[in-house]
Amino acid sequence: MRRPHHKFWPKRLPHRITLPATSLWDNLETSARRYPDKPALVFFGHIFTYAELRRQAERLAARLHALGVRKGDRVMLDMQNCPQLVIAHFAILRANAVVVPVNPMNRAEELKHYINDPDAKVAITTADLAAEIAKASNALPANERLAHLIVSHFTDAFDPQAAGADAMPPAWRDWLLTRHPLPALEGGEAMSWEAALDNALTPPSLDVGPADLAVLPYTSGTTGLPKGCRHLHSSIMHNAVASCIWGNGTAENVTLLVVPMFHITGMVSVLHANIYAGATLIVMPRWDRDFAGRLISRWKVTAWTNIPTMVIDLLGSPHFGDYDLSSLVHIGGGGAAMPQAVAQRLFEQFGLRYVEGYGLTETAAPTHSNPPDDPKQQCLGIPFMSCDSRVIDPETLREVPVGEQGEIIMHGPMVFDGYWKRPEATAAAFIEFEGKRFFRSGDLGRVDEDGYFFLTDRLKRMINASGFKVWPAEVEALMFRHPAIQEACVISAKDSYRGETVKAVVVLRASHKGKVSEQDIVDWCRENMAVYKVPRIVEFADALPKSGSGKVMWRTLQEAQARAD
């Protein structure tokens, strides 16, 4: 059925694609066979060719198999961006296992859930994070702990004395160059990266295909602990291939990889899309505007997926005039709206149209994207390849007219298989609409007369801080462990840089009033949760507003904050 957005569809592209009947590992295997000597990854000047990337991934896969990892087993992967993350990600897939990507900002209290919920017995990490994972594992009951922890140092992937390392931001040197001892893993074994790869073992036969579980990324929600999203090889494959095609990807692409690969966008639309294409990835472990400017200039980067705050930061650098961005031909991202003035500057100064997109962890990132040649600013775009998306009344579940607000729903091969161990949550996340199974996004939006989607509000209670999704229920659950906190309600507050930031309204226990400050609460949160979740603002209150049934009326606090902002 033809829809209004079809007249803006890129004329060179199909509306649907036929997926390879293979696993995600086969994408690396194929690119390594086609382009063995081509740079796959560049990290502080060190080049990993496709042949070397495949070789190391196969060696690590063989080690995982020797450690007892079998088909369908979940392996926790907790790293900042680095070549070892890419090697480990594909090694887990090559071992017929399932990648459990974890945000490296998480602390021990949070990490326990990522060990025991997916029943992970093996974890792979970097040395700066290893002690926190060991702390989490050691605190669990004996039958829930990790059996093996493979630990890499960043310098396993580059030479600190090489020319490329000279450009490293000075603030990163201690973090990247310090050698940490292996932590003590109670009831298990910690192994160095070097020892893990130093083997002559044979990897197992490749026994997984499109219908097998590949990745189990976690997403939080309005209640409870984060839920694992069951993604098959086929759902990740679809958006990897489609993202490559949509962005005009070829083996000649040089892509700046700075969005985190633990996040679904970095994993699918950047890592898997570029490995499928046989492109080159310039890897940044975290954001630094001047380092990014130097890398784009030095390696003639052609494509850059980001979050808008990165672009704003780079354009604001006092050294911006020293950088050559002329090689860029594709720039885009999501997670937050790109300010119109910044998008206009990109177009006027560099001829670049910023392409915004939209998707969720449950949908392997993009379900919507702006056509690269016809983007609308501050817009989610049009339904992506093979995706059917509508806007419905969340109460009646009927499609609303053009321009009216409703809940965005989507159907397509990129949609996940359901929540791990959560059949009730899975059932609640889907509806049948026009004879098809649609996922309920929980986001409110509208469609204009051209078929472009716009985000207007959220049904789900969520804070978007610089593209990081913060779920208040999760932050509150962690805060309740503080001995001084009787009650806490987390809401969003406006922030000139992050867009939104985290605010906590706290009721102290009578025994702690006058003895604990707002800053004490913030400091405790920094010790016990990922930094992006930490409330930047803590406000003490004598009581929280409650309904007749005793539920905290968070909307009342949120509306009061909106008026204050």
Domain ranges in the chain?
50-229, 463-564
pLDDT digits 0-9 by tens, 133-179? 999 999 999 999 999 999 999 999 999 988 776 789 999 999 999 99
Weakest-pLDDT range from 269-273, 313-317, 518-522: 313-317
Q: Are 98 and 110 in contact (CB under 8 A)?
A: no
DSSP letter, residue 327: T
Phi first, then psi, for residue 432 (nearest 5°) are -95, 130
H/E element, 306: strand 303-306
Residue of 400, 529, 546, 550 whose CA lies nearest to 472: 529
**Nearest 5°: phi and psi at 49?**
-75, 170
- What's the whole-number mean pLDDT along residues 290-300? 96
Q: Is pLDDT above 80 for 336?
A: no
Pair of tokens at residue 506: 């706290």
Quick one: average pLDDT of 361-385?
94
* pLDDT above 90 (res 260): yes
Residue 468's pLDDT band (cuts 50, 70, 90):
confident
Task: Provide the CATH number for the domain formed by 50-229 in this structure.
Answer: 3.40.50.980
Share of the chain above pLDDT 70, in %: 98
At 339, list the tokens: 């300010």
3-state SS class at 238: helix
Residue 521: burial class (beta carbons within 10 Å; 0-12, 13-18, 19+): buried
pLDDT tens, 263-277? 999 999 999 999 999
Q: How confident is the model at residue 550 (pLDDT cuts 50, 70, 90)?
A: low
Domains 50-229 and 463-564 share a fold: no
CATH superfamily membership of 463-564: ANL, C-terminal domain (3.30.300.30)
Which pLDDT band holds residue 223 (cuts at 50, 70, 90)? low
Please tell me whether residue 32 adopts helix, strand or coil conformation.
helix
Q: What is the pTM of this model?
A: 0.88
Counting beta carbons within 10 angstroms of the beta carbon of residue 495, is it exposed (0 to 12), middle (13 to 18) or buried (19 or more)?
middle
Check residue 61 and give its pLDDT.
98
- Of 149, 144, 110, nearest to 127 (Cα)? 149
Give the 3-state secondary structure percentages of the chain, helix then strand then coil, rounded to 5: 35, 25, 40
Contact status, residue 32 vs residue 53, Cβ threshold 8 Å: yes
250-264, 279-293, 307-321: lowest mean pLDDT where? 307-321
Supply the mean pLDDT for the chain.
Answer: 94
344-361: per-residue pLDDT in tens?
A: 889 999 999 999 999 999
**Residue 558: pLDDT above 70?**
yes
HSE, side-chain direction, 13 A CA sphere, residue 251: 13
Quick check: 1 pLDDT over 70? no
Tokens linked to 432? 């049948």
- Other Cβ atoms within 10 Å of 475 Cβ, number: 23
